[in-house]
Amino acid sequence: MSEEKRPPGRKSTILVIAGLAVVVVAGILGWLLYPKSQPAPTPSPGPEEIRVPVKKQPLIAFDDTQKQTETKDLMAERKAQYGMEEGVDIIATSEENVKIGDTIVSMQEITEKIRLGRGDVIETDLGGGVPEKPFIYGLYIVQPGDNIWNIHFRFLKEYYMNRGIAVAPMADEPNQRGFSSGIGKLLKFSENLMHIYNIRERELDVDLNLIYPLSKVVVYNMDRIFALLDSIDYTNVDRIEFDGENIWLQAQG
């Protein structure tokens, strides 16, 4: 028998179909196996910006002639609460600014420098905590001829005068044996409760003996120094002892 012949082109058709099948299968496998391209992620919004309103500090214009009457009335009212007249020129809180001549002094800045000098940790309140009670300061502007001892003594005499006690002009001098008087010891200890601020350099001054007129201010923490003076009975002032750091009353013999 003669061999049966296949129709021409059938083999080619089979090959084409097989090739197409391979391409389709390869495409499906590639679609399944290879990761699809992902759209770029949308950046998440950052934390909401917190804007804390800056509280404008009141200004006490000590030498401003336009506000002289207003300032004098305010200072007279504040001084009367402490029974002071010449011992301090200004009474201001730590939330106020004071203008001395052409210079504006921030009481908040002075407060932070004092606290840093004591080793305190300064934290800034962003509005969520309980506000801290402001400090009250008495400021004396150093004048020509002043010295730190006489500034303290004037302050002390006014304190006692307001309580009906006249302090003798020589009460701060040593006694006949050369020992410091009780008032002298009290004045020496009070140096721990005050600071000298250099207006020009905007720094606390560590040398209490170098004070320059109109460029330095003696700063008293009114609550601290009045708490000390209120705790001492003047009739016992001659029993005061001071060792350079601590003050106490000598026991009666």
Q: Can you give the pLDDT at residue 52?
A: 41
Tens of pLDDT, residues 168-186: 999 999 988 888 999 999 9
Parse the chain into domains and list their residue ranges.
59-123+132-249
Work out the pLDDT band at 54, boundaries 50, 70, 90.
very low
CB hemisphere CA count around 34 (13 angstroms): 7
Q: Which amino acid is at 19?
A: G
- For 71, the enclosing helix (H) or strand (E) is helix 68-82
193: DSSP letter:
G
Amino acid letter, residue 162: N
User: Is 43 a residue whose pLDDT tops 60?
Assistant: no
**pTM for the structure as a whole:** 0.71
Between CA 202 and CA 197 the distance in angstroms is 7
pLDDT of residue 67: 56
What pLDDT score was predicted for residue 91?
96
Tokens of 98: 């004071």
Average pLDDT over residues 204-219: 80
CB atoms within 10 A of CB 123: 8
- 221: which strand partners? 137
